[in-house]
Amino acid sequence: MGQCLNLYDRKNGNKYCGGTCVKDGTQSNGRQRYQCKSCHRKQQTLYSYDAYQKRGSGIRSTARILNISPTTLLSRIVQIVHTISRPTVITQSTYKVDEIKSFIRRKSEHIWIAYVLDRKSKQVVSYNIGPRTNATLNVVLKTLHLSDTKRGHTDRLKNYRSLIVTKIHRTSLYGTNHIEQHNLTIRTHLKRLARKTIYFSRNAVILSAILKIYFWR
């Protein structure tokens, strides 16, 4: 038995709710689990994964923590981006290409994030933002041509037919599974890209900078 450290207080410090904990079975990893008789929350005496101690911060909240202005923080983000280099592209590999739809400043101003994903390493090797046009797609598709790609998987967007060599182009039903899942991961990690959110990008330069840090940092 022992004192209860409830879930809310665990995020803010070692404050106990004052209840008594009793044994309540074990976790899948074999560790003893306890339940508080007062608040009925279940917990362990030792946590190996401490993600609950960390929380994501937006631009303004990060600026407050660092005691600098949001403008200064944004300029430093852009400076950091200049130090990040593009990853090495592996030749004779299989790549997947897709686009994510987002917006800048208002929902009527659509913007697309096109990127190339290495099928084996799951590494994003190229990306570009802009309208859903051949010019935007061509920037990322250069990766396929320069790396002597074995195969390039895309969805059935008609633009790809004229931009990718027929002998390497694939549009099979399950060919884009990995990159579609990666789209969901990106939207989950970057709140500004979530479909329904109060967070959004006000500037294409900052959006590109955030993506570069996320993909290659």
Question: Is 125 within a domain?
Answer: yes
Question: Is 167 within a domain?
Answer: yes
Other CB atoms within 10 A of residue 212 CB: 19
CA–CA gap between residue 164 and residue 94 (Å, rounded): 13
Amino acid at 130: G
Domain that includes residue 176, residue range: 94-216
Question: Is 89 within a domain?
Answer: no
Question: Is 203 within a domain?
Answer: yes
Q: Is 155 exposed, middle or buried (0-12, 13-18, 19+ CB in 10 A)?
A: middle
Q: 99 and 203 share a domain?
A: yes
Q: 122 and 195 share a domain?
A: yes
* Mean pLDDT of the 5-33 span: 66
Q: 210 and 103 share a domain?
A: yes
Q: 6 and 77 share a domain?
A: no
Arithmetic mean of pLDDT over the chain: 84
Q: How many domains does the chain have?
A: 3
Please tell me whether residue 122 adopts helix, strand or coil conformation.
coil
pLDDT tens column, 108-140:
889 999 999 999 889 999 999 999 999 999 999
Indicate the pTM of the whole model: 0.70
Residue carrying structure tokens 């950091």: 80
Contact 169, 155 (CB under 8 A): no
pLDDT tens column, 45-88:
776 655 445 455 678 888 888 889 999 999 999 999 999 998 88
- Strand pairing partners for 139? none
Question: Is 98 within a domain?
Answer: yes
Higher pLDDT, 173 or 57: 173
Higher pLDDT, 43 or 100: 100
